[in-house]
Amino acid sequence: VDYFLVIDLPVHPTGMAASRSIPLWTPYDPEVFCDAGFARDLPVVFLGTIMGERVGALRHLQAQGIPLLTAGGCQQRGWLAVANYAQCYQRAQIALNLPFPEYQLKGHVFESTLCGALLVDIEGGAASQFFEPGVDYVTYRTYQELSDVVWYYLEHADERNQIATRGCQKAHARYTARHFWEKVFDTIWPTS
């Protein structure tokens, strides 16, 4: 093996494999995952498999009265076609990333930001290696802080939109499928 393409874990191998590892993100087509200009009529979305810690977080949000759409889960019940999946993020005001396990770099990070939704992710999570907390997305530590953050940004649309716009711009400037392959080829066959 010449190189390891590490897509969903920010933790890199040690020893000899470390120098041959290329830390990456899931490559998405920016023609599909983009801000399509739809009305943002979905207040909060979580797209993915509901298991583990996600169950407690989502139950807490529902108990707090937060308007929440859950769907998706690529390999489980509730699977959505790619265009419908992207459209949920394109219509979302806020998109939740509930990583399970916490250190995993989930595709939600890039799917939601590419589509222009405000990403809400756990503090210290893998998203912080690609985006700046408080600038490109917002964070939480506890279930209560999660619901507080979500309510705050539902009620403060201008701040929500500013952060979501910066996240979307950064995602399109750095983390599309084209950028993914450029990084791979630049690492394998450097031009200088």
144-168 pLDDT, tens digit per residue, is: 999 999 999 999 999 999 999 999 9
Q: Which of 9-18, 67-76, 100-109 has the highest mean pLDDT?
A: 100-109
**Exposed, middle or buried, 60 (CB in 10 Å: 0-12/13-18/19+)?**
middle
| Percentage of the chain exceeding pLDDT 90 | 63
Average pLDDT across the chain, whole number:
89
Predicted pLDDT of residue 20: 78
| pLDDT at position 109 over 90 | yes
Say if residues 12 and 23 touch (Cβ distance below 8 Å). Answer: yes
| pLDDT at position 2 over 90 | no
| Percentage of the chain exceeding pLDDT 70 | 90
Say if residues 54 and 100 touch (Cβ distance below 8 Å). Answer: yes
Radius of gyration of the chain (CA): 17
Task: Outline where the chain has alpha helix (H).
Answer: 53-63, 82-91, 108-114, 143-155, 157-174, 177-188
Beta strands of 60-106 (E only): which ranges? 68-71, 92-96
* pLDDT tier at 12, thresholds 50, 70, 90: low
> 143 in helix, strand or coil?
helix
Bin 187: left if φ > 0, else alpha if -120 < ψ < 50, else beta. Answer: alpha
CA-CA distance, 177 to 1, in Å (whole number)?
A: 23
Half-sphere exposure of 115 (CA within 13 A, CB side): 30
| pLDDT at position 72 over 80 | no
Predicted pLDDT of residue 143: 93
**Exposed, middle or buried, 114 (CB in 10 Å: 0-12/13-18/19+)?**
buried
Predicted pLDDT of residue 70: 92
Tokens of 72: 């998706």
